[in-house]
Amino acid sequence: MPEAVEVSFCATNLNTRDRLGASLDSIFHLGATIGRLFEVVVADGPSTDGARALLDSRAAADARLRVVPHAQRNRGYGRRMAFEASHGSVIVPFDTSLSYAPQYGELLARYIALDIDAMLFSEICALRRSAIQAVGGWRDLVGGEDIDLYARVIERFGVIAYPTAGRESQSRNIGSFERQMRYVPGSPFARGRRILTVVRDQMIGANYTVADLMAFNASKPLGRRFLYRLFFTLAALRARASPLKPYRFDRNNYLVLREETLRSLLEGREARLGGSGPPPCLLLTDDEIGYLEARSALWKEAGPRVQEFVGRKT
C-alpha cells in the first residue's frame, strides 16, 4: 500500500468464516465513510474453517485488503503483526467476529480530523500510531491484550470516550468464551487449558487479582463461584510465573479504562468530536457496576451522575 494511506483498520483472525464476510463488509463501509485513504490489514493464524481462503479471495479482488499469515494462536501476537504490517497514522483495531454499525464511520472521521494523541474509546476504538509506538505496542498475550495496551495509552495520552451502545453492533456481539474457542482445536482438555491461559493473560493484561475476578462473577451460583475461585487461583499462580508482567499504575488497568472513560463523559469531552448522535451510554453488567461502585473513588464521587452515562447489559 502507498505511504499516503492515513487509516489502517487492523485485526487478528482465526476461524471466523461464518462472520468474517459481514465483518469485512462493515469495515469497508466505515472506510468509505471517513473520507481518507485507508487499508484493512488482517493477521490470520492457521485458520482451518475456510477463513484464510475467504481472506485471500477478498484480498485478490481488492488491493486495500492485505493478509498477514502467521502460525500463532495468540491474539496479542496477531494484533501486533497486523499493526507492524500497516501504514496508517491512525490505527482502528477491529474484531473479525463483529459487524460494526454505519454510525461509527462518522465518529471515526470526526476523531481523525481532531489530530490528537488521546485515543478514541467507543464500540470501535482508534489510536494514533505514534501513541501505540510510544507505549510499546501490543504484547503477546492470549487474552487481555487490548486493555493491556489501552491502559498504557490512556495513562500517557488520555482518552475521548463516546460509547453509544449501538444496537446493531451490540446485537451481533458474541461472548469472549466463544471467540476464544475458535482458537482451540481438539479435546475438552485443550479447551480448558486454553481458557486457563486466557485468564492468566487477562490477569497480566489488566493487573487483576483473584478478588477482582471473583467480584466480576458475584452473581454466579455459590457452587460455581467455589470452582471459579480455584480456577482463578491457579491462573494467578501461572501469571506470577509468566515472564510477561503487568504494567502497574495506581489502580488496575480495568479501573484505568473505566474511570477515565467516566471522567471523559463527566467532562463532556465527546463534544470535541462535534456532530450529532445518540447520547453516550456505556453498557456494563450488574457485577461490573457493583465492582466499580465498591472500588472506584471517581464512581463514588460522581454519585447519581453515573446513571446519565451507564446502562446495564442484558
Q: Which three cell numbers stand for residue 259?
A: 474511570
Q: How many angstroms separate the CA atoms of 261 and 282, rounded?
A: 9
pLDDT at 180: 54
Q: Can you tell me the mean pLDDT for 98-105?
A: 93
> Is 37 within the bounds of a domain?
yes
> Is 123 within the bounds of a domain?
yes
Domain limits at 132? 7-170
Q: Which residues are CB-contacts of 293 (< 8 A; sequence separation ≥ 6)?
A: 299, 300
> Is 224 within the bounds of a domain?
no
Nearest CA to 138 among 126, 130, 146?
146
> Is 161 within the bounds of a domain?
yes
Q: What is the CATH number of the domain that holds 79?
A: 3.90.550.10
pLDDT at 147: 97
> Is 118 within the bounds of a domain?
yes
Neighbour tally for 23: CB within 10 Å: 21
Q: What is the pLDDT of residues 193-240, one digit of tens each?
A: 888 999 999 999 999 999 999 999 999 999 999 999 999 999 999 999
> Is 106 within the bounds of a domain?
yes
> Is 200 within the bounds of a domain?
no
Q: How many angstroms separate the CA atoms of 213 and 66, rounded?
A: 37
Q: What is the pLDDT of residues 262-310, one digit of tens each?
A: 999 999 999 999 877 889 999 999 999 999 999 999 999 999 999 999 9
Domains identified in the chain, total number: 1
pLDDT at 55: 97
Instruction: Grade residue 166 by pLDDT with cuts at 50, 70 and 90.
Output: low
> Is 23 within the bounds of a domain?
yes
Say what the pTM is.
0.92
